[in-house]
Structure 1
Amino acid sequence: MSRVNANSNVPDTCSTTEAAQRLGMAVRSVQLMVDRGELQAWKTPGGHRRILRSSLDAWLANRGGSATATAPTPAQPRLATPGRPMTLLLIEDSVHFQNLISLVVKRELPEAELHIASDGIAGLALAGRLEPDVLLIDILLPGIDGAALITSLRSHPQFARSRLLVITALDEAQRAPYQFALEGVPVVHKTELVTQLPRLLAEAAAAFAA
């Protein structure tokens, strides 16, 4: 049972399920956030996590108030404009891979515009604003469940014309729990970015130019 704040009669802890609902994430993503120290929590004698609401509020405050508040707002469909540059959005938390992918994109698509978001929530907001031609997304992201993000983007009419590419450090067996979101989506292992990403970028560029 959650502890109660004597001043407000509101529980000052919540379950991982409650936290996941508030953040718009999978329960497993919240558990990983606890393990990484992003959320403060303790365990009951039965082994259940109880997350401090103060740490949840602080995490949300650092990201603009709430997970849902930063979701993309409806926008007018972006019309194809002759001569406009191809737009790519990379959602990746590793600075190393941000730099590596930036180098590959600059080499393969020198005229393209590449935008980078370091967490899923910021990436979702940026995607809503940019409506990019290509979305490159890591599965494991801080701030949001990567599989849920991918599924949401694939099903949203606003991103129907965006080409989706998934990048990951997970091997095929480790990707099994995310297979529902990855069906039919090109997946590039991070160790093969330099060899596989150029071909996928070339295909995206050809579709953009068509």
Structure 2
Amino acid sequence: MAVRSVQLMVDRGELQAWKTPGGHRRILRSSLDAWLAGRGGAAMAPAAPATAAASGNRPLTLLLIEDSVHFQNLISLVVKRELPEAELHVASDGIAGLAMAGRLEPDVLLIDILLPGIDGAALITSLRSHPQFARSRLIVITALDEAQRAPYAFALAGVPLVHKTALVTDLPPLLAQATAALAELPA
């Protein structure tokens, strides 16, 4: 099938998709399976992921909640370099990010503490305390220095944190730690 045909199917609502920060469409497998079933075709067998999530039956899923397009792009590059088979989803604000987190149940959450429309500390605290996200690993991304982070200490206690000026050097080991911790969780 031609790329343009698939784009039109998404635009008409025949397939459900989301767009990457680079503008590429990502079709939901469940949407494609439903479309195939409606045409009398067989649903696709799940692909064997190269980077398995803790459950072992889907690719590692990451959700980035960050309002700066610059940092969205930078973090996307780091994630693609470190975890090339992982699925990275991006939300530009806390409300959309919360909705996506509930839908995706990501393995790793990368969250900026300063977000438009929602208190980042409250978001982090809620995600940490909700049983639905007990398996999710959390990494906080911030431009705040230590003194500026003091009011958020209750939300940041025990959470890996990377300063935006050190993303390229400090994020890769945190991603490795998060994926290692996921691998140790019982299925």
Superposition TM-score, scaled by structure 2 size: 0.68
Match of 2:174 in 1: 200
Whether the aligned pair in 2 keeps the contact of 1:138 and 1:168 (CA below 8 Å) is yes
Deviations 1:43-93 (A, max 9, x none): xxxxxxxxxxxxxxxxxxxxxxxxxxxxxxxxxxxx954342100000000
Match of 1:95 in 2: 69
- Is the aligned partner of 1:84 residue 2:58? yes
Distance in 2, matches of 1:92 and 1:131, equals 17
Q: Alpha carbon RMSD of aligned pairs, Å?
A: 1.3
Deviations 1:94-145 (A, max 9, x none): 0000000000000000010000000000000000000000000001000100
Match of 1:113 in 2: 87
Shift of the alpha carbon at 1:175? 0.2
Which ranges in structure 2 are unaligned for 5 or more consecutive residues? 1-52
Deviations 1:3-25 (A, max 9, x none): xxxxxxxxxxxxxxxxxxxxxxx
- Is the aligned partner of 1:165 residue 2:146? no
Distance in 2, matches of 1:187 and 1:81, equals 25
Displaced runs of 4 or more, over 3 A: none
- Is the aligned partner of 1:176 residue 2:156? no
**Counterparts of 1:124-135 in structure 2 under 5 Å?**
124-135=98-109
Aligned length: 132
Whether the aligned pair in 1 keeps the contact of 2:65 and 2:111 (CA below 8 Å) is yes
Q: 1:152 aligns with which of 116, 126, 131?
A: 126
Go from structure 1 to structure 2 and tell me whether the alpha carbon gap of 1:182 and 1:148 turns closer, same or farther (over 3 Å shift).
same
Whether the aligned pair in 2 keeps the contact of 1:86 and 1:208 (CA below 8 Å) is no
Match of 1:187 in 2: 161
Whether the aligned pair in 1 keeps the contact of 2:137 and 2:182 (CA below 8 Å) is no
Superposition TM-score, scaled by structure 1 size: 0.61
Go from structure 1 to structure 2 and tell me whether the alpha carbon gap of 1:159 and 1:110 turns closer, same or farther (over 3 Å shift).
same
Distance in 2, matches of 1:108 and 1:202, equals 8
Which ranges in structure 1 are unaligned for 5 or more consecutive residues? 1-78
